[in-house]
Amino acid sequence: MTWLLAGLAIAQTAPCDDPPPEVVKCTAETKADANRTVDLASLLGSPTPPNPQPACQRTTVTVVTGSPLGVTDRLAELDDAFERCATEAQARTPKLIGTARFTLTIDAMGRVRDVGTARSTLNDKALPDCLEETLTTAKFTASPRLVRLEVACTPPRS
């Protein structure tokens, strides 16, 4: 019997022509099985596609003033919200591309007091607003600081 996985033979049993008597007893049924091909992909179901690359990612985080302690971790907690913004933008602009730079002012209590888009080359004009809104929800460790963040978006590879 030959097993196929995605069209490739991966294992083959010996034919029943001259089997060792102690190993295989050939019958008409086992000879028929030896000539049958089974597609393992159909038995296992469709392969799971790999996770697609996110449309937008944080590329640089710079703590200009104040302690950098916990800044990257707090921003990483926003990745799902960033991805939601990017997914909505990609629905509006399928070939989403560009970068946006943000400046965050964080007060002594760790709250974002001000967030602004310093520069944007994104071809979806609503995306920076969504990202700004997301950044205002971040809570940092208590320490005043100024943070610069860059987000880069690239269209999915086809």
In three-state secondary structure terms, 29 is helix
Cα(first)–Cα(last) distance of the chain, in Å? Answer: 37
* The pLDDT of residue 153: 87
Query: Which tens digits make up the pLDDT trace of 18-55?
Result: 544 444 444 445 444 444 444 434 444 544 444 456 67
What integer pLDDT is reported at residue 120 of this predicted model?
Answer: 94
Stretch 130-158: mean pLDDT, rounded? 88
DSSP alpha helix (H) spans, 27-126: 28-34, 40-44, 71-76, 79-92
Taking a C-beta distance cutoff of 8 angstroms, is the pair 102, 148 a contact?
yes
Residue 67 CA to its chain's centroid (Å): 30
Round to whole Å and give the CA distance between 140 and 46.
43
Average the pLDDT over each of 18-32, 126-140, 141-155 and give the range with the smallest value.
Answer: 18-32
The reported pLDDT for the residue numbered 157 is 64
Question: How high is the pLDDT of residue 9?
Answer: 35
> In the prediction, which pLDDT does 48 show?
45
Q: How far is residue 54 CA from its own chain's centroid? A: 5
pLDDT for position 5: 31
> Is residue 117's pLDDT more than 90?
yes
At 149, is the pLDDT very low, low, confident or very high (cuts 50, 70, 90)?
very high
Give pLDDT, residue 69.
87
Q: Tell me, what's the pLDDT at 84?
A: 93
Question: What value does the mean pLDDT take over residues 4-22?
Answer: 42
pLDDT digits (tens, 9 = 90+) for 59-102: 899 999 998 988 989 999 999 999 999 999 999 998 899 999 99
User: Using CA atoms, how far apart are residues 85 and 49, in angstroms rounded to an integer?
Assistant: 23
CA dist., res. 76 & res. 58, Å (int): 9
pLDDT tops 60 at residue 141: yes
Could you give the CA distance from residue 119 to residue 13 in angstroms, rounded to a whole number? 64
